[in-house]
Amino acid sequence: MNLPLLDLVIIVVYLVGMIVLGLYASRKMRSTSTGYYLAGRTLRWPVVGAALFASNISTIHLIGLAASGYNEGFAWGNYETMAVITLIILGLVFAPFYFRSKIATLPEFLEKRYNSTSRILLAFMGIMGALLVHIGLSLFAGATILELFFGLDTVTSIVVITVITAIYTIVGGLKAVVVTETIQTVFLIIGAIIVTGYAIAALPDFGIHSYAALKAAAKPEKLSLIEADNSRGLAWYAVLLGYPITGIWYWCTDQTIVQRVLGAESEYDAKTGPLFAALLKFLPLLIIIFPGVIAYVLFSDKIGDQANLALPILIQELIPTGLKGLISAGILAALMSTIAAALHSSATLVSLDLFKGFKNKFGERKQITVGRISAVVVMFLAMLWSTQGDKFSSIFEANAIIVGSIAPAITTVFIFGIFWRRGTAQAAVVTFVTGIVIGTLAVMSDIPVWGDKRFITEVLGIGPLLLPWYGFLICSGVYIMVSYLTPSPDPEVVNPLTWSKPWEMLSGRIKSWKDPRILAAGLLVMFVAFYVVFR
């Protein structure tokens, strides 16, 4: 694709603007660890929600979900719509404890609930998740875009993306990240809506004049969220069992995402921010996956089996000059926001968890320096890993496989830890070690490192959603067994960090419609309506 000069100017102005804005917004927050890592705990709920959405909707989603819409259709949209439920869980179940504990990292919460060993293990797993998923695969997706738009080779593209994003992230800290993420959310949504509008407008030129005709041309199952069989690993029971495991890890326990909640100004902001993000999560099915389905109808002859080109081809074929630059800026916004979030969380985990004694020994400035250096190291390792993205049929599939390997142990330790007061520190540690071993073997067998067949997916026939479910069952068994074999934890330590009853978070007087519980109920009604419409 040869972008006209106007589009190139728009993209360059946008990139420079993000760097300047990020550095300016964070100028007063860089000198202390609270300011650098938590934005001084000044974030209000709209910023928290927009930043949660932007740090999630990466180029993996824009390119990968459009590719999945092209290949499979709406079925992959379950990853987006089911996020509504896990974001409600974050807002109502986890956020109150996170905010009241005044923690800076989620591993710190585990140290309060369990012990320092569980803190170190979660920090390590969090860094690996950021490196493999949030940064590594995002770099590969971004390289695909830059190669298509600018003719840059993969290595050059990865270096360009890295330098631009790292400047304001490593220097500016969380304030720079969330301010740019809020702006990027607007660009991302506007760009996706424009592509969707032009794609729908092009349908009559190809003989598609009704929704029924579109379903017939796309194959009817492509426009349904609910699948009966599990031939593609996306049956309704696989979604129902498997998604909560990955969703709770990603939305409720992953530092890259939850760090925005930890920087909230008040408990109300910590609760309501995730609910605002849940509202935004209804959009991807309509403005990212749906255009992928339309790309199949309009341009399957040009795209062929290169599904990752679905969105770029739509832009190339349908979008006029000027708007191409705006939309390309939106795609780069998605890329930069996710990488920035993961980079900053990695710096936070290394500095505050792996080197937690550093602050008392050398002071806050050197603690921040440790975080910045670690961010550079993580970025370099992620650049090396990003070259493996083409081993999967789509970027989003790669994301699902890796997340399904990381999530089970972490979800187990947090869920039992917050709802079961009998759960012990020894159980958490053994469960983490079990999860690391199982997850590593699962990823290596499904890349695959040995041979050319993916053992989990192709030989055993376990899809990307059932894998985390089986992993959760194993980890839960380990956690429960070890808990009963070890002494009960001290109630004075455990009780303030756990719910006495599963429904306790719903108790108490409701004073207005702005109460998070009322907002959550409205989201649940919308969730059910979505599945009724797209069943």
Name the pLDDT band for 253 (thresholds 50, 70, 90): very high
pLDDT at 130 (0 to 100) = 80
Residue 155: CB atoms within 10 A of its CB come to 12
> Average model confidence (pLDDT) for the chain?
82
Round to whole Å and give the CA distance between 363 and 29: 16
Distance CA 44, CA 51 (A): 11
pLDDT at residue number 389: 58
- Check pLDDT > 90 for residue 425: yes
For residues 483 and 427, the answer to whether their CB atoms sit within 8 Å is: yes
Q: Which residue has the higher pLDDT, 174 or 15?
A: 15
Q: Is 509 exposed, middle or buried (0-12, 13-18, 19+ CB in 10 A)?
A: exposed
Q: Which residue has the tokens 């705006």?
A: 326
Q: Go through the chain and tell me how many residues it has.
A: 535
- DSSP label of 39: G
Question: What percent of the chain is modeled with pLDDT above 70?
Answer: 82
Ranking 49-63, 191-205, 421-435 by mean pLDDT, the lowest is 49-63
Mean pLDDT, residues 39-52 taken together:
85
Domains and CATH numbers, the chain: 5-19+43-502 (1.20.1730.10)
The helix/strand count (H/E) of the chain reads as: 27, 0
Q: Give the tens place of pLDDT for each residue, 346-358.
A: 878 887 777 765 5
Give residue 38's pLDDT band: very low, low, confident or very high (50, 70, 90).
low
What number is the average pLDDT over the span 378-388? 73
